[in-house]
A and B are shown apart, each in its own frame.
Chain A
């Protein structure tokens, strides 16, 4: 490794104006291991690159140093040139004598000396460079989509339509997610289910999509292109092949008064149930915690009524392992329990409801079949107060962030209410109105101007009952904080959107990171918004932060394109700048002692445990192993390793040491 070529670039006048390039080249020629040293006007030009290619061949170079601009600029260029000449590209390094020298210092002897120093250290590094080879990882072209809401559905369809297999896992008995619960959607007011259900059906019928509902992902091992997911298919207690979805069993069930999850507790369902009429798959499941048979051992009414004998009380949970190449996490969000705010009276007064409950009240498929009737007595409310930021933007009691969708759906609620109850009055308490999407502000304006929704800027301090009315006390800050008191028939709280209850566990199972609100974290907030830090795992929808439908769908498609791009190759090629745990001759096998400090330090969960065994299979010890599929090459583990058993290719201990020491070599 000691036939190094040094190529000093003038960069026109950019370097040569302040640095004596010829002198740099001459000084470097004197250094041990330098076989060739030359300066040239434009190294990155075709003739310049040719110079390098020819020198590699003619002088049989074993290393190349290009002293020119920042490696962040042209390192790929010169490495490619080296590769073309048959030299391993990782034996080429750049010395930055432009940005770090010629441009920041005046023309002087000192500047030239600094340039020589810079080149010298890089030569020292190159002496220790090792040829590296891109890491090839095979790709299993199947995607796992976790969550069957609109984001998951969109991602699954996009990936499947690109010709790849998709496994969609949904923990509820039906896909559809929150969007299926919505009445109409802003700002167009088209029917949510009308636009969603065709997609749901498409998923169910798509030949490339395998749908597991009532199932959860328990763990994920492996790495990009090569994950193994462990999925628990909860026992539905029916034989899906035999079930026709006729619904006889549902009618037969004697237990009928279970609050319906789909209707947010405003309606009821039996113990064997289909969550909603358009459910996909449209087949019932038995809620074993409520079923009389499972609780007492007697009943089986449903079984007796089933025409196809599809009921299976003895069914067990089934755990399957699937191999996938990429994972899309689209587990969505939930709304903050409003009991959080006792002053708003949620839970205390039946007619104080959440936004999502109000959606069900407005929905044609809801408990009131689309008529606006209040939960307490079924009367049509004449005065409805909407309170936004119920929990959002409230660091003291709730959450500090903005839930983003509330302003819009509250406007929609008020508007729909007015459309249905023409003589009704709608009030909205708000802090700010955030309506920044396409047609959004117009939509809010319409609510105020055309539908005469009364917007009051101020916070609600208290909600209480008086003479059968719900009194909302607040202040109108636009009127100098004048107290406002409204006797309402109904109150709707725009509760904050928060992460799902199991988000933390899921993140840990998938080895992805999450923020302090338990929303999953993207790899980069600006430039890699749909990727996680774990290569091969992507995010879509509101599991990352609250989002509206178009945003969720947009992100889902973006994610799908990432997955499809990943699946466009049979093998992944990765930069070989990864960490490696050393191996040495027996009886040591490796100097790693398995303290696994690196494991906690690694931001990518790339450190695994590996059992070292002798040839006859006896366990020597358990040491760390870097999964090259996951390692991103930050080298944090390297600096932590006490015994120096782990090293980073491309920035190895020897290389960095040589660079530092060379700086002071006389």
Chain B
């Protein structure tokens, strides 16, 4: 019984009007969640945590750089799952959500590259190094841009979305390959110092702001995803009556 209600719910979620209501109700809470967590995280990162004995205060960039990196990769995974659903079950909402995730993922990747490059300047003496992690992150940015460009190139948004979803899946396979192929270079980038599972070499007192900021970025992604998806849905259905009634009524 539960399975059937779940299945019906899953498919009902796909109808535009239902999704529209959902993507109108949730975002305010998600934006609020983001605001709270980010405020706490930034406060702790800048005011509470003592400076690092080696890096001084420049390590505080970690609280923006690392969550952005994690979010960039997490967004791609979520996008790939959405793309899979969109391709297999042809659910339009999944297509929209996948397409709308690309700009957010690209923004996170850009943020990661920018903050990493700024952090690298005092620490390694150079803005950029052809290092394994940096290069694969840069390639990830190009994959995101490619997906956005491919989707934008099609006038027929359903076909464009399907084509871009295939590119997403291709990218999903390609990214670990790139990561390991560039791994063999002498890597300047520090090893994985933050391991949730293994023993983390970071001082425990530095941990809380990172947790807050990571959660904040998750809220950010969810809120931005649903808000953008709602806009894209309205844009695609703008010639339909339900959109016209909605948009003109609530002036």
Q: Do A and B bind each other?
A: no
* Contacts from B to A (Cβ < 8 Å): none
